[in-house]
Amino acid sequence: LIKSIIPADSLNQIFGDPGSMKSFLAIDMTACIATGSSFYGMKTKQAPVIFIAGEGFNGLKMRFMAWSIKNQISLDDAPIYLSSVPVSIGNPESIEAALSVIDQITILNGTPALIVIDTVARNFGNGDENSTKDMNAFINGCDTIRAKYNCAVLLVHHSGHADKNRGRGAMALLAALDTAYKAYKDENDILRFECTKMKDGQKSKLAFTVHTVELGITDEEDEPLSSVALNRTEYEAPPKKGKQGRGKNQSLAITILNDLYQQHREHLESGGYDPDNAKVKESDWIDACYDTGIEQSSFRKLKQALILQEKINIENGYVFLGKK
């Protein structure tokens, strides 16, 4: 579908931490395929695209508007179909319901060549991402979609807790992928898009700068609205990192805490509650740290050091990210 990036009839993944612009990359690919535009110099095969977001429907539309303005290509008649509700991919009944809707689109507008699932967490259902059984059910759901339409499926996923070079959860997902891409921002705020798995072909590495795009519309208070779009820039080797201000285990513990916090926000949002009320139990954080191999004997000193550095604070059995 995108030369050297997304093969036809395949299972693909873009993963990264919150704020890594992974969804923007998926939107860029969607718009390029739907309009037959090149993806930063790489040819695409024009076809309909289904985008299953499950959240942030209005924000998603604004991101597509920004792409249209930046590239000066209208999306008014582009065959892009956005879902405003999630699909429990691991649930056969939920898959069947989704396929019936996609079938209607196919009859009217042609078979989709790409189906984007953003994010895996939002569309996973009630299972546990770390369970091989539940992850296999999710993979089977993806394969059901892919096989029916002979299409590519693109998963947008969060990075793992301890291993930032793969997506979160059971290893069964990594094994099932045809391609995997890591998205992250370096210390110069350059967005890096790097292939970590490619079954057939060479691994691509791209770099982008991020730019604000004024949308030409206002909100309810008459304030101008904007979004962002990507511009490709020359890829250079990432700058070497010097010594960090904290040890490896301290950095890992902070990363785990941030990931747990983001998961709690997602759970609250999916249940219709205010995500700003998300908080992490200290016991859950400690257990997650132990699970990654941090020794119990060293954890007490690690925790005290983070408190003294104001990296975290602990109140009433909950742990919060402090000043950075």
Residue 199 sits at the vertex; the CA angle it makes with 158 and 195, to the nearest 5 degrees, is 45
Sheet strands side by side (includes 312-315): 280-281, 318-321, 312-315
Q: What are phi and psi of 139, to 5 degrees?
A: -60, -40
What is the pTM (predicted TM-score) of this model? 0.75
Cβ proximity of 114 and 50 under 8 Å: yes
For every one of its 324 residues, what pLDDT tens digit does the chain have, with 9 covering 90 and above?
999 999 999 999 999 998 899 999 999 999 999 999 999 999 999 999 999 997 777 789 999 999 999 999 999 999 999 998 899 999 999 999 999 999 999 999 999 999 999 999 999 988 899 899 999 999 999 999 999 999 999 999 999 877 788 898 898 999 999 999 999 998 888 999 999 999 888 899 999 999 999 999 998 889 999 999 999 999 987 655 544 445 678 888 888 888 888 888 877 777 777 777 888 999 888 888 887 778 887 888 888 888 888 889 898 889 988 754
Listing DSSP states for 48-62 in one string gives -EEEE--S-HHHHHH
Q: How far is CA 115 from the centre of its chain?
A: 14
Q: What is the pLDDT of residue 247?
A: 67
Q: What is the pLDDT of residue 244?
A: 44
Q: What is the pLDDT of residue 43?
A: 97
Q: What is the pLDDT of residue 258?
A: 83
The identity of residue 57, as a single letter, is F
Q: What is the pLDDT of residue 322?
A: 75
